[in-house]
Each structure stands twice: as C-alpha cells, then as structure tokens.
Structure 1
Amino acid sequence: MSTIRELDGAEALARVDELAEVLRDCVEGGASVGFMLPLAQGRPQAFWRKVAAGVAAGERHLFVAEDEAGRICGTLSLVTDLPDNQPHRADVSKMLVHRRARRRGVAERLLRALEAKARALGRTTLVLDTVSGSDASRLYERTGWRRAGDIPNYALMPDGEPCSTSYYFRHL
C-alpha cells in the first residue's frame, strides 16, 4: 500500500525527476493535464521546479503517494495563493497517478489528505476541473464533489483532440 504525505519545497525540488516521471507517464497514457505530446525533454522537470518554488513560497501544498519502495507514484496540489477576496477557497490541481499504481485507491487517498489539509487551513470551498466523463470525474462524484457544469472543447488531449472539461466544487 502507498503512503500519502506532504512534501516541503526543498524535498519537492530534490524529487523533481520522480515527479516528472509521474507526469510523463500520465501524459503518455493520454491524460489531459496541460501538456501535449510529444512531451519536450526537460518540460516536466521545469514544471515541477516551478511547483517546488510555489511550495517553498507557501503558495501551494504538494501531496505525494509513495509506493512500497518509496518511489513517488501519485501527486495532488492544493493551491492557496488566490485573490484577497477568496481567503476561504483553494484550487485543487494536478491529480496524477502513475499507471503502475492505478486502481489501488491512491487518488482517493491523495484527495482525502488534501481535503484534511484544506480544513486545517480554514479553507471551506475547493474547486477543480477535469476531463468530462473521465475516471477522475467519477472519483470526484463518488467522493462527494458536485459538478458545477461542463465547457465543451475547453482543452486538448495530449494528442491534440479537443475535450470537454467539467468543473467541480466541494464545500468542506
């Protein structure tokens, strides 16, 4: 069983290559998470360095799932750097689970850890988006998130095919 924990900025930076491997696997597996194929060399590492800097600056919280060997097999971020009129809210970003770790409850456990952190920070409204009709959307609905609506042709899949996006929210 995997272990879920929060990384600080220094540890996130030290583990950029592992985080990049999870991102690469998800994109190559067809996940629409903001990246296109072919995934440029160094692009995943650059993304995770930026995330690590945000963690170090207190703008976000990064959760990881580690497999039995201690390797990162999943990630999820809580983005708390929002406008002044939204101190009660946070965004959920980059739910990524390596294909080798799927169907083991990793995503749900990451989500529960993130929700607990949000509560501890006094955040009462969480928002996220995902591909409409995806495995992720079914997870969110199963765990109490409410769909606010869909936007057709909002993003592209890694192969360039347009996809609809569903927005979800949860009141804690």
Structure 2
Amino acid sequence: MSDVKIEQLKSFGKHIDELSELLIHIVEDGASIGFLPPLKLSEATKYWESALSSEVILLVAKINNQIAGCVQLQLCTKQNGSHRAEIAKLMTHPNFRRNGIGRLLMQKTEERAKQDGRSLLVLDTREGDPSNRLYTSIGYIQAGRIPNYAISSSGKLDATIIYYNLEVKTFNKRICNIP
C-alpha cells in the first residue's frame, strides 16, 4: 500500500507535463470536464498555464511522487459571494480510481474552503457519471438539472446536475485502499 499525499500547487513548474497528461487521460476516458477527445498536449498545457490565479486553489494527490489526481477550489471574488466557492475539475487518473482518491481530494478541498471562510460549495457534473454517487455520498445536495448542457464526444447533448453543500465540514477519517 502506498501513501497518498495531498498538496497545494502554487505554481506548476515541473508538474505541468504531468497535469497535462492527466487531463488528456481523463478526457480520453470520457470525462465531461470542458474538453473533447482527442485533446492535444499543446491544448492541455495551454489550459493549465491559464488555470492558476489568486482565486484558484489547486490541490493534487500524489502517490510515490506521481500525480494521481487533482481538484480546483475556485473562490468567488464578488463582494456578496465571499462565503462561497466552486469545486471544479475533480480528476483521478484511471489507473488509481476506486481507491478513495476523489473522496480524499474532496475532504481536503472542504478543509481548505473552511480555512478560507467558505461555508457554501457548489459544483456540477454530467448526469449519470459515477461522480454523482460520490457527491451525494459525502453530503452534497442536488439543486437542479440543466438539460442539453454539454456536448459529448458522440455529439449528444448531456444534462448537468448542480450540487451544493451548505455545511462545509471536515469529513470523518476514512481509510483509502491505494494499490
């Protein structure tokens, strides 16, 4: 069993290639995260180069110093929204799925949001994706469904489900089975 380490990246440096490869794997695996396959390395790198800002907190999960997943906490900067943030681009590399990495990333993201004084978190995910089960299992509440929200690689228009969590809290400690 390997240890999963969660860390915040404040700059990409040596990690940009790994994050770009992760994004490509996720998109090729069918995830609906704003891109369609085939995703070129140059497009993935361009995305990451513009992703970090003072309003975006990027957490990565590492196993044996290799990035196994990531998530973004996008802080609202509006005066009337200083209590909220959006969770975006939760990704777990296909080789590491079903081992609790997504759950651990969500736990650490909630902890980080709480440190920043955020009491409301929102997110959206494609209807029917496995991530829906994760979000409901950790206490997120479905706020609604928007039909025809995103185009899939087949050209089909998919619905998105919007979730929220009003009680940002620290999760109960759980054991992750990491290969």
For normalisation by structure 1, the TM-score amounts to: 0.91
CA contact (8 A) 1:20 1:48 kept: yes
Aligned to 1:62: 58
For residue 85 of structure 1, give the secondary structure of its aligned residue in structure 2. Answer: helix
Aligned to 1:167: 162
Tell me, which stretches of 5 or more residues in structure 2 are unaligned?
Answer: 169-179
Quote how far apart the aligned CAs of 1:159 are.
3.7
Within the candidate set 6, 9, 28, 1:7 is matched to 9
Quote how far apart the aligned CAs of 1:26 are.
0.5
Aligned to 1:138: 133
Task: Calculate the aligned-residue CA RMSD, in Å.
Answer: 1.2
Is 1:24 matched up with 2:6? no
Within the candidate set 75, 79, 83, 2:78 is matched to 83
CA contact (8 A) 2:127 2:159 kept: yes
The 3 A distance-change label for structure 1 pair 14 and 84 is farther
Amino acid at match of 1:61: I
1:96-135 equivalent positions in 2, closer than 5 A: 96-135=91-130
CA contact (8 A) 2:76 2:84 kept: no
- The percent identity for this pair of structures is 35
Is 1:49 matched up with 2:49? yes
1:98-130 per-residue CA deviation (whole Å, 9 max, x = no partner) reads 100100000000000000000011000000000
CA contact (8 A) 2:20 2:41 kept: no
Is 1:156 matched up with 2:151? yes
Partner Cα separation in structure 2 for residue 33 and residue 145 of structure 1:
19
**What is the count of residue pairs matched by the alignment?**
165
Tell me, which stretches of 5 or more residues in structure 1 are unaligned?
Answer: none
For residue 38 of structure 1, give the secondary structure of its aligned residue in structure 2. Answer: coil
Quote how far apart the aligned CAs of 1:157 are.
2.0
For residue 122 of structure 1, give the secondary structure of its aligned residue in structure 2. Answer: coil
Amino acid at match of 1:63: L
CA contact (8 A) 2:142 2:164 kept: yes
For normalisation by structure 2, the TM-score amounts to: 0.88
Partner Cα separation in structure 2 for residue 13 and residue 48 of structure 1:
11
Partner Cα separation in structure 2 for residue 37 and residue 114 of structure 1:
28
Partner Cα separation in structure 2 for residue 89 and residue 14 of structure 1:
31
CA contact (8 A) 2:24 2:41 kept: no
Amino acid at match of 2:36: M
For residue 15 of structure 1, give the secondary structure of its aligned residue in structure 2. Answer: helix
